[in-house]
Chain A
């Protein structure tokens, strides 16, 4: 179990694992006396790795067959909601930070607390990351990896035009704007300094946290003032007016998909990404990217936090919770399994595993680890869990901001309206 594997060996393992998984599940009826269903969203790369782990698990546990189901992100939630409505959720489920609260509070997920210390070996697991999977004090998901918000920038272009960045843990929005104004004239044709991020919930969250507030209180009320929102939007409106961000209609081309991102299509120098998206972004571009922290507001209170990139959860209706917990544990703590998974889903909270995998990473992946090491020295505690209705409020930020950006409403009016909308939505939920 402890022999280190090289990348080449790992690829071979992937190939054999994937095909063996198919073979194993083809001839399954003859052998298996126990079946577990596992569902996740992702891409072909993640699918291969996950299946190789599934195969490993089946080899180590004769008599257990794991039926994999996997979908693209956009399709996953409709499939999952339908399965949930039919009380037919798979035993082990990949969960997202937003949805885990929706599913847990509505009784679809199993409380994992009874399994901790038994089937689930979380002795080595970062307690902060473990807390991120708690809903109302119970563990409903084990984090698959830490993640944080970041500015990703086009290093090739920045170096070419001679831009320099100050210490990323200390820089402020004032520094940021000054750099932008300085570089504005030097940028390539059609490239703007930074992407507008006024329509993104997590940027608003960082903004209010930098002011010592939160989006929501523990009991699910708004925990910031309308003035905070107004300042936030006023800042981005100023960026748009001074030409540091692209015009509204160009910005609206970005609906959050990787291929629409300004870094990829080349219309912004700086852009927002979660740190675990860095590899995917880099793959789609010729230029070299680098990753830094979100600037501070005056006062320097940290706004970022280490956020779980995704969880593994268990369905409340799982017929054999103990077996499901064992499978879940295998993904989190098994060394061989993590030699395959590496940090594709995020940087794991298991200390020994993190140390083990960090030695076989690519340069791009190493940048993520280095970034998270910096961020972890400059974070504030996890925010309270989002209440019901938070998702709806999140989606409403975009049209509200766009009304400002396209000149249909003033910042003040839009902020006031949105604030009222958020309050009524929380009341309705």
Chain B
């Protein structure tokens, strides 16, 4: 807490310094966005031959043309992306929190073994399970539907979120649920009435990551979706560039890439409030 109790002495100075530091750091973070947005206003022939961040003119045609540059419009891609990402959020939050509650609070046989297996699934590089998984989904006849991208989330296959929630659930004092047990609450009520409400920060965190990672995911949609009308935004963004040397639409790619950040940014802004609001609940709980 280097900055914490600065309110006493030299508070103003420290606040100014802090703002300057934060602003400088923020610029370093923003540079890529500026560059990308800059590129999105340039005509194709200038993007790489004249690589400054600032465009000399503001031409919106890359946005207008980019939206309909592929045979399916970006309206559809966004719709698909939102449907998949929203379902992923719901699936991850519900399934992973149930599992995490079991690992964090309940006692049952072979718990340590399941926990180790759960963590173990994080460690295998996905490239080698990709093909067997594809064959599995092909047999289930789920290929070319959203199911391979959505159903696993409802079955808590993402150990990251389980482990994350376990760590936070275990940060909640046990006296609280012990008191609830005295009042006759079963595990379900403890989970629903105590754990979830007291875990807003971590649930919001999990929601942010679920949304963003699913929205950004590219490999899953690439492997499982064939029909362009089912494509997601990142898949569509890749279609602008032909790295084998055909004609590519770089300006449109930059424009649509910049645009594709808007929803994730909005989701981030919305949910980070919940992380912050967690403090009030955190104060309540003791």
Contact = CB atoms under 8 A, between A and B. Distances in A.
Asked if the two chains touch in their complex, CB atoms less than 8 Å apart, one says yes
Interface string B245-283: 111111010000000000000000000000000000000
A75 B252 CA distance: 19
B242 interface: yes
Interface residues of A, number: 50
A277 B246 contact: yes
A264 interface: yes
A264 B49 contact: yes
Contacts of A75: 222, 238
A277 B247 CA distance: 8
Contact of B239 (A71, A79, A88, A281): A71
A281 B227 CA distance: 30
Interface stretch (A41-49, A115-123, A366-374, A384-392): A41-49
Contact of B250 (A72, A79, A82, A284): A284
Interface in B119-140: 130-131, 134-135, 138
Given A70-B228, A82-B130, A44 B249 contact: yes
Interface in A43-101: 43-48, 51, 67-75, 78-79, 81-83, 85-86, 88
B239 A43 contact: yes
A21 B72 CA distance: 11
Contacts of B239: 43-44, 47, 70-72
B49 A285 contact: yes
A141 B244 CA distance: 19
A280 B222 contact: no
Contacts of A67: 226-227
Interface residues of B, number: 37
A280 B228 contact: no
Contacts of B240: 43-44
A45 B247 contact: yes
Given A43-B242, A71-B238, A88-B138, A279 B247 contact: yes
B184 to A, nearest CB: 53
A280 B246 contact: yes
A80 to B, nearest CB: 11
Given A67-B226, A284-B47, 8 more contacts: A82-B130, A85-B134, A86-B138, A257-B243, A259-B250, A265-B48, A280-B247, A284-B44
22 contacts: A21-B71, A42-B246, A44-B69, A44-B249, A47-B70, A68-B228, A70-B239, A75-B222, A75-B238, A78-B223, A82-B131, A85-B134, A86-B131, A86-B134, A86-B135, A88-B138, A259-B47, A259-B48, A264-B48, A266-B49, A280-B247, A285-B49
Q: Which 6 pairs show the lowest CB-CB distances between chains A and B?
A: A277-B245, A43-B242, A73-B244, A280-B247, A72-B238, A43-B246
